[in-house]
Amino acid sequence: MDPKEIYLSKPWVEHYPEGVPAEVEVPDISVPEAFDQMADKYGSKTALIFYGKKISYEKLKELTNRFAAALADLGVGKGDTVAMYLLNCPQYVIAYFGSLKAGAKVTPISPVYTSKEVKHQIEDSQARTIICEDILYDNVENAGVELDNVILTSIGDYLPRLKKLFGKSALAKAYSGMEVPTPEHIKAAGLHQFQDLINKYPPEPPDVKINPKEDIAALPYTGGTTGLPKAAILTHHNMISLQKQTVSFWPIFEEGKETVIAFLPFFHIYGQVVVMFNGLVQGSTIVLFTTPDIDEILTAMERYNASAFYGVPTLFEYLKEYEKTDRVNWKRLKMIACGADTLHQSTINDWERRTGSKILEGYGMTETTAVSHSTPFNRPKTGSFGIPLPSMDAAIIDVEGTDFMPVDEVGELILSGPNIMQGYWRRPEGTKEAIIELEGKKWLRTGDLVRMDEEGYFHFFDRKRDLIKYKGYSVFARHVEEVLYKHPQIKAAGVVGVSDPKVGQIIKAYVVLQSDARGKISEEEIMEFCRQNLAHYKIPKIIEFRGELPKTDVGKVSRRELREESEEG
């Protein structure tokens, strides 16, 4: 069969769990409407648990309505952008849904951003209002951007009384050097206090008409793999679609009966959509953490009988060795999911030996509203990140062109579906490169090198930009890293290509050794290990030992920063 026809025939549908449809129907509603439906249905049920403090669905809806009314009175309306510079906390949820009820779109900013990065996102997103953690306000002030409204909130506002002092001191330590503005400064600068607004306004949101397919809900920014970060345009329809697709694919979850642990940062698309949004529009209880304190998370999982756990590879790598991991009966959970980066096979094997449970991988991007593929709970496959969700089209095309690649051959993954972004915000050239038309459909070029096997399962190889060209050979950075991780004394590794006029690119490996091996293992010993496990052209020519490697916001090794360092060197 012609490769194109194979992809368009969706061979993966055959392996959907029983009852999962090939296509889903997406209701024509907005994100806040979907939330309100759950709030009305499960009013007395606990929506959020924040270090013991419980907020019901009924109360959460009231708070979002009050905040929407406050924003409307401050001049925020249809089409405006509201920036959210917050840690995980109830205010994040209130501000998120409240902003959408006011007709605005939200742009989440990473709490670890510097004032320069904050300035770029505020200006690029055209935000005129920001909701800011008081301990982060220095960065907003130092950004020097013109804003109509600055709304401050404190992490302690929704903490139980006994936790307030501890919470504030922990944050002060984490964000040392940054000071909370004084009451005098707040008054002089004309800043607003979140709680004052909540208390002042009635729970009467403005009557805003939202067109789900056209109106933007969120402008989440990508990690800035090339140049400055850019925002994916996600409509209300994109987000509602993704929720329906994931719920359909996971029929084991019951509406109104699940409890989800939420420590993944909400500014990131994974935590924002998969955990916060999907959880709340499914009537789940969300156990919310500001920081990923492992001991508290493990305790909460048992105390609240969590049914789902969403993590990233670095967390599972840590947990598989952690002494207190056995506190949790992992086999009881309906799902243990991993996303945001590739999970090494050694981690998977060690985890299964330790806990007797399986980690199910998924795949997605900011541009796909967080997810496009997931592993079927009843039929995982080693080395695969799963199969496309209902209503998704996926195919592999030639890296340099648009020809469909034969099954089992590596090429660039392209995707089409109702959850695919509309384009990049104020980046027409970037949109033109990313969104192409084939077979009468719009497809997203993901930039990821992937293959599809005969059963329709997809296997990740590398990012297109991380493909190393050495003497005409194609070397996947991830493949070399996988081998390095098999060395018993290597704790972490990052592989990049360094430009060289003679061979194209030289392979360089940055290696972090286990603490007891430092100073005892040489670069040559690592190279010899690679010679025994890799083809000659894949062996790193440079080994550099490091105490640690730069990480992205979600904890994966930042090859971009390593590349920049190596090029500067």
- What's the whole-number mean pLDDT along residues 132-158? 96
The DSSP 8-state label assigned to residue 160 in this structure reads -
Cβ distance 153 to 131 under 8 Å?
yes
**Which positions ≥6 away from 392 have C-beta within 8 Å?**
245, 372, 373, 415, 416, 417, 419
* Dist. CA 326–CA 353, nearest whole Å: 12
Residues 555-566: what's their mean pLDDT?
87
- Rounded to whole angstroms, the Cα distance separating 302 from 441 reads 46
223 pLDDT band, cuts 50/70/90, is low
Residue 176 is predicted with a pLDDT of 63
For the stretch 171-192, pLDDT in tens is: 665 666 678 999 999 999 999 9
- Give the pair of three-digit tokens for residue 465: 């930009």
Residues 6+ apart with CB under 8 A from 250: 335, 374, 377
Tell me, what DSSP letter sits at residue 389?
A: P
- What is the SS3 string spanning 102-113? CCCEEEECCCCC
pLDDT in tens, 270-314: 999 999 999 999 999 999 999 889 999 999 999 999 999 999 988
Q: What is the CATH number that goes with domain 57-209?
A: 3.40.50.980
Confidence of residue 88 (pLDDT cuts 50, 70, 90): very high
As a whole number, mean pLDDT of residues 499-505 equals: 89
The token duo for 91 is 């205010």
CATH topology match: 57-209 vs 471-568 = no
Write down the pTM of the prediction: 0.90
pLDDT of residue 225: 41
Separate counts of helices (H) and strands (E) for the chain: 19, 26
Classify 3-26+231-462 by CATH class.
Answer: alpha beta
| Cα 242 from Cα 251, distance rounded (Å) | 15
**pLDDT category of residue 226 using cuts at 50, 70 and 90:** very low
Q: Which CATH class is domain 471-568?
A: alpha beta
Q: Say what the alpha-carbon torsion angle 300, 305, 310, 313 is, to the nearest 10 degrees.
A: 70
Q: Which residue from 498, 474, 491 is spatially nearest to 559, judged by alpha carbons? A: 498
CA pair distance 369, 238, nearest whole angstrom: 7
Which residues make Cβ contacts (< 8 Å) with residue 417, sequence separation at least 6?
A: 241, 245, 368, 372, 388, 389, 391, 392, 393
Token duo for residue 414: 């392209």
Question: What is residue 375's DSSP assignment?
Answer: -
Per-residue model confidence as pLDDT tens digits over 427-484:
999 999 999 999 889 999 999 999 999 999 999 988 888 889 898 888 989 889 989 9
Contact between residue 226 and residue 11 where contact means Cβ atoms under 8 Å apart: no
Tokens standing for residue 99: 């902003």
Q: How far apart are CA 84 and CA 232, in angstroms?
A: 16
DSSP state letter for 232: B
Q: What angle do CA 325, 87, 95 make, to 5 degrees?
A: 125
Residue 70, classified by CB atoms within 10 Å of its CB into exposed (0-12), middle (13-18) or buried (19+), is: buried
| pLDDT bucket at 166, cuts 50 / 70 / 90 | low
Domain ranges of the chain: 3-26+231-462, 57-209, 471-568
Q: Report whether 549 contacts 314 (CB < 8 A).
A: no
Give 167's pLDDT tier (boundaries 50, 70, 90): low
Residue 260 · residue 34 · CB < 8 Å: no
Percent with pLDDT over 90 in the chain: 82
Q: What are phi and psi of 258, to 5 degrees?
A: -105, 155
